[in-house]
Amino acid sequence: MTASPPLVEFHRVSKSFGDVRAVDTVSFSIFRGEFFSLLGPSGCGKTTTLRLLAGFEAPDPDGGEVRIDGAVVNARRPYERPIGMVFQSYALFPHLSVERNVAFGLEQHKVPRTEIPGRVERALELVRLAPGTFARRRPHQLSGGQRQRVALARALVLEPAILLLDEPLGALDLKLRKEMQLELKALNRELAMTFVYVTHDQEEALTMSDRIAVMSEARVAQLGTPAEIYENPRTEFVAGFIGEVNLFEGRAAGQGGGGAGGTWTVVPTSGPAFQVPHHAAFEEGVPVRIAVRPEWLDLHRPGEVPAGENALPGAISEVVYLGETMHVVVTLTSGAVVRVALRNEGQLLKPLPWRRGDAALVAWRPEDCQVLEAD
Amino acid sequence: MTRRLPRALVLLVGAIFVCLHLPVAVLVLYSFNASRYAAGWSGVTLEWYRRLLDRPDILRALRLSLEVASLSTVLATLLGTLMALGLARGRFRGSTVTEGGLYLPIVTPEIIVGVAMLILFAALRVPLGMGTIVVAHVAFNIPFVAVVVLARLRGMDRSLEEAALVLGADEATAFRRVTLPLLAPAVLAGALLAFTLSLDDFVITFFVSGPGSTTLPVLVYSMVRRGIEPTINAVSAVLVFVTTLTIVAAERLAARRA
Amino acid sequence: MPGARRRLLSWFARRPAAGAWALLGPGLAWLTLFFAVPLAVLFGYSLMHRGTYGGVAPGFTLEHYRRFLDPLYLVVAGRTLWIALATTALCLLLGYPVAYAIARAGRWRNALLLLVVLPFWTSFLVRTYAMIVLLRDSGVINAVLLGLGLTSAPLDLLYTPGAVLAGLVYGYLPFMVLPIYASLERLDLALLDAAEALGARAPARFWRVTLPLSLPGVAAGSLLVFIPALGAFLTPDLLGGAKTMMLGNLVQNQFGAARNWPFGAAISFALMGVVFVALLVWLRMRDAGEAA
């Protein structure tokens, strides 16, 4: 996928509305056939970025370049770009039937009359809507999920190079949403079409994407594969936005031995010190923050610390049943609250040996952490 | 959730409704009264309606009213719809002021508007006639049409037009194939409203019409001032009938969801 | 050809302001020329001398405004003000229950609304004339009263302040009903349920929840009645006679028989002054309501 040149390039793109910077010198590339997601909380700029790609907004006069297939498209209108789009509200034309909706784009592109019905039918089948049943219906006669599929069919029938999706699954219930996530991923693979997807749901982004651009306050906080984003978050914001995370901090106080590159001892303001793998930026006295995912932590009885692992003492304050996992909330002696994720092997047959109030040690291997940069 | 309303309230409201329609109902009723003097009832007759056909002044006034209403409706609907489109898309400085200004003609007492137009035409030495009436009617109708169409535009999903753009339609085509069909009922409702307002207007028309250009309301006024006669009942009933038809039609159109 | 069209559209699409002004232009021009300009000219006239053969003569003067302060005319102004206020109050008293009933009417809502709106669209002249038919000495009301033996001689119903008041309330009631209905319709019924759960019975629910939340509608309706009532001309003309002259009649007089245009203009702007004050009061109330 990375061998060919990128299909889409954002080069230091900025967009302001009045005094507000909605997108601030954002740069990234999207490759052909990729499922690329823009992820972030509301107001982070992801929708504006999508609209800049679509052509509904234009970058500021000195606000960088948007390139599609190597050509600068800043000045091009949406109908002059090789894109299709599925809107959050579906935007189906209420005065047209399903088949007229899907045929709309074909008519605009002057596709020969004889070809249209066939293409419409194939598009509807592609999104699993039986043409016989649904073609003549009007949007208001369809359920939310059906409308969503029609919106998809309408965009796909034109076989665009890039499909833009603006939080299309937000209005669906959980089960339908998960089904559609897999369907969209399958379509992306089968059609080998580039998908650019906007969402605020981190789980959705992790499920479907080849790469994710996490955005915050008009900038890209981190760009990478789901594994990179989840396991190696670069900043506290990214670490906290995707999944749950425990934060530990202190000051670097001496490089120790053992292991490739060695480890540093980090001394927090209260509580015992812990070991952190060597990082280029470390110096004596420098503040250090690390993120540790709940599943990288383990619980032990006091006194039973495995060799080479960090261990912080505390007491169980809550045991939370989550189905596949159990979350044990521990209040450390230093006052900090951490969450430990343990596999649920069936509480009825093999319950966890932890109760509220029990003293415990929260432990993790020094390398099972992510050193965070300043936000 | 239906909470039953207190009896007293229902009776009061019922009485008010009756009073609201009584005068006109009585008027229409008496247009069929054979008795010349409104008091007694002496049988049903269409005499007064027949007499309308013998009155060239009434027929001329009716014709002028319809012509003025038609012409001013077409112009006001066109200009008002364009204004609504401009305001709805507005992300520009002065849009709030302009929109506020749109309400000014609606809020200003008619007598002041009428008088002001009279002196404008006098200052410009424009003779008062059908032209001045149409001009005045267009002016007070534009805000009504604009407000009706604007309300509908604001309620429309913006992404419908954007969807059309992504599907390959340029702005003009998107307007023609998506916005306009959805806007049509509101535009038509606005037009019918304007037609009614124009047909029924008295105060402003009174000041800007000349001796040769008397509309129906102005004629009725002078007839009433001269002395009550049953033909006035018949003329009024005709006006009421036309207005009611138009309003019911407008109501149907406004209620229809595309 | 399509290329040129595309370029033109692109040009406009990239400048939303230019596109908006292009659309607004014609209508705005018409309104400026035939509404704003006449009003400006009217204002100018109010400050000029009266012409010998009607119209105006050049020269700045405040005599017309000063003349308006004569008790003779202030009486008319005062009467206009109290009639307008009384009309507004009566419309509120009668209109609120109607709006309330329609808002609660469920299925009948649209039909009832149409019934309220219909007289509103019927010619004001016709409706005022219908009042004459009812109120005259030989009119329907007197005929019924005499016929039933409740009176021995026809009552003087017409050409009284009461007749003008009745005519104005009859004419403007729909203006009060519609905004109040709009406010009430938007009321979240869950609020009333919450109030009931907190111990409020029906009267308390009305006074403490429904009424305060419908105040924007009440304010709007009051404004929509008060302003036209101030400028009323036809109703006092046909129903009031010489004794119940309002400012509207005074203005019409100056532009008719009296041929004193500048004075008529001055009265008009004095009237506009009151209208502006009413508008400001309404805007203040609305903004205070939103901030609360």
Tens digits of per-residue pLDDT, C69-90?
A: 888 888 999 999 999 999 999 9
Q: Answer whether B22 touches C (CB < 8 Å).
A: yes
Q: Say what the pLDDT of residue A224 is.
A: 96
Question: For residue B169, what are the contacts with CB-CB under 8 A and spacing of at least 6?
Answer: A79, A104, A108, B177, B178
Q: What is the pLDDT of residue B258?
A: 40
Residues A91 and A178 in one domain: yes
> For residue B189, with 0-12 CB atoms within 10 Å meaning exposed, 13-18 middle and 19 or more buried, which class applies?
buried
Alpha-carbon distance of C50 to C211, in angstroms, equals 51
- Of A75-84, B132-141, C234-243, least confident by mean pLDDT is C234-243
**Nearest to residue C231, comparing CAs of C188, C172, C187, C178?**
C172
Tell the burial category of C178 from Cβ atoms under 10 Å away from its Cβ (0-12, 13-18, 19+).
buried
Residue ranges making up the domain that contains A261: 246-371
Collapsing DSSP to helix, strand or coil, A311 comes out as strand
Subunits in contact with chain C (3 or more CB pairs closer than 8 Å)? A, B
Region of poorest pLDDT, from A234-248, A256-270, B138-152, C187-201? A256-270
End of a domain among A197, A215, A241? Answer: A241
* Cβ-based neighbour number of residue C284 at 10 Å: 10
Same domain, A186 and A254: no
The CATH number covering residue B122 comes to 1.10.3720.10
- B258 contacts on A by Cβ (under 8 Å): 94-95
- Same domain, residue pair B28 and B74: no
Model pLDDT for residues B196-215, shown as the tens digit of each residue: 889 889 999 999 988 888 99
Interchain contact, B165 vs A56, CB within 8 Å: yes
Cβ–Cβ under 8 Å, residues B120 and C45: no
Percent of chain A past pLDDT 90, that is, above it, reads 69
Residue C194 near chain A (CB below 8 Å): no
- Count how many domains chain A has: 2
CA distance C62 to C46: 8
Quote the pLDDT of residue A107. Answer: 92
What proportion of chain C, given as a percentage, has pLDDT over 90?
21
Angle formed by the axes of helices C16-31 and C2-13, nearest 10°: 90
Domains of chain B: total: 2
At C121 the pLDDT is 79
- Whether residue B135 is contained in a domain is answered as yes
**Judgement on whether residues B208 and B174 belong to the same structural domain of the protein:** yes
Statement to judge: residues A72 and A221 lie in one domain: yes
pLDDT, one tens digit per residue, over C108-119 is 888 888 888 888
Interface contact C13, partner A, CB < 8 A: yes
CATH number of the structural domain spanning residue A308: 2.40.50.100
Q: Rounded CA gap, A15 and A51, in Å?
A: 11
d(CA A153, CA A184): 12
Task: Please indicate, yes or no, if residue B85 is contained in any of the structural domains.
Answer: yes
The per-residue pLDDT for C1 is: 58
Cα→Cα distances C216→A62, C282, C285, Å? 46, 9, 8
Around Cβ C289, how many Cβ atoms within 10 Å?
13
* Total-model pTM: 0.80
Residues of C in contact with B217 (CB under 8 A): 123, 125-126
Using the beta-carbon criterion (under 8 Å), do C13 and A75 form an inter-chain contact?
Answer: no
| Domain C-terminal end among A222, A241, A260 | A241
Sequence-ordered alpha helix ranges (H) in chain B = 7-30, 47-53, 56-88, 95-107, 110-123, 130-155, 159-166, 171-174, 180-200, 203-208, 216-226, 230-255
Q: Are C147 and C138 in contact (CB under 8 A)?
A: no
CB contacts < 8 A, A to B, total 64
ipTM: 0.82
Q: Name the residue among B167, B171, B181 with its Cβ closest to that of A104.
A: B167
| A237 plus A250 within the same structural domain | no
Residue pair C68/C269 in contact (Cβ under 8 Å)? The answer is no
Q: Give the residue from chain A lying closest to C11, CA to CA.
A: A75
C134 inside 8 A of chain B by CB: yes
From chain B residues 92-121, the ones with a CB under 8 A of any chain C CB are 92-93, 95, 98, 101-102, 104-105, 107-113, 115-120
Same domain, B33 and B73: no
Does pLDDT of A164 surpass 90?
Answer: yes
Q: What percentage of chain B carries pLDDT values higher than 90?
A: 36
pLDDT band of residue B1 (cuts 50, 70, 90) is very low
CB A275 within 8 A of CB A310: yes
Q: What residues make up the domain containing B40? A: 7-45
- Say yes or no: B21 and B106 in one domain: no
What is the residue type of A341? A
Residue A214 has pLDDT above 90, yes or no: yes
Is A85 found in the same domain as A183? yes
The owner of tokens 């401009």 is B86
Residue A65 three-state SS: strand
Task: Tell me which chain A residues have a C-beta less than 8 angstroms from the C-beta of C3.
Answer: none
Cβ of residue B2 closer than 8 Å to a chain C Cβ: yes
A293 to chain C nearest CA, in Å?
43
On the CB side of C4, CA atoms within 13 Å amount to 1
And the tokens for B7? 């009896």
Q: Which residues of A touch C (CB under 8 A)?
A: 58, 75, 77
Arithmetic mean of pLDDT, A355-365: 91
Q: What is the DSSP letter of A216?
A: E
Hey, CA dihedral for C248, C250, C253, C259, is it positive or negative?
Answer: negative
Tell me how close the Cα of B160 comes to any Cα of chain A, in angstroms. Answer: 5
In a domain, A3, yes or no: no
Highest mean pLDDT pick, A9-18, A255-264, C216-225, C275-284 = A9-18
Helix then strand then coil, % of chain C, to nearest 5: 80, 5, 20
Model pLDDT, residue A212:
97
Residue in this structure with the two tokens 């307008």, named with its chain if needed: C84
Which residue is listed with tokens 């009024």? B236
Shared domain check, B212 and B151: yes
Where on the phi/psi map is residue A323: left (φ > 0), alpha (ψ -120 to 50), or beta?
Answer: left
Instruction: Indicate which CATH number applies to the domain containing A209.
Output: 3.40.50.300
Task: Establish if A87 touches chain B: CB-CB under 8 angstroms.
Answer: yes
User: Tens digit of pLDDT for each residue in C37-61?
Assistant: 999 999 988 888 887 776 778 888 8
Of C22, C116, C129, the CB nearest to B236: C129
Query: Chain C, 151-170: which have a CB under 8 Å from a chain B CB?
Result: 170
- In which band, very low, low, confident or very high, does the pLDDT at B254 lie, cut at 50, 70 and 90? low
Percentage above 70 pLDDT, chain C: 97
Among candidates C30, C38, C122 on the partner chain, residue whose Cβ is nearest the Cβ of B117: C38
Distance of CA B170 to the CA centre of its chain: 36
Distance CA A60, CA A12 (A): 11
**With 90 as the cut, is the pLDDT of residue A285 above it?**
no
> Is the domain of A175 the same as that of A58?
yes
Query: Percent of chain A, pLDDT > 70?
Result: 97
Same domain for A229 and A286, yes or no, is no
d(CA C132, CA C141): 10
Q: Which CATH architecture has domain C75-291?
A: Orthogonal Bundle (1.10)
Domain boundary among A241, A257, A275: A241
Note whether A205 and A154 are same-domain residues. yes
Statement to judge: residues A235 and A257 lie in one domain: no
Q: What is the pLDDT of residue B2?
A: 44
Beta bridge partner(s), residue A220: A215
Q: Residue B3 has what pLDDT?
A: 60
Q: Answer yes or no: do B173 and A93 touch at CB < 8 A.
A: no
pLDDT beyond 70 at B253:
yes
Paired tokens of B187: 């535009």
Neighbours of A80 (CB within 10 A): 15
Which letter, b or e, does each residue of B198-236 get, where b requires 16 or more Cβ atoms within 10 Å of its Cβ?
Answer: bbbbbbbbbbbbeeebbbbbbbbbebbeeebebbbbbbb
- C-beta neighbour count of C176 within 10 angstroms: 30
Instruction: Judge whether residue A72 has pLDDT over 90.
Output: yes
- pLDDT interval class at B231 (50, 70, 90): confident
* Shared domain check, A315 and A208: no
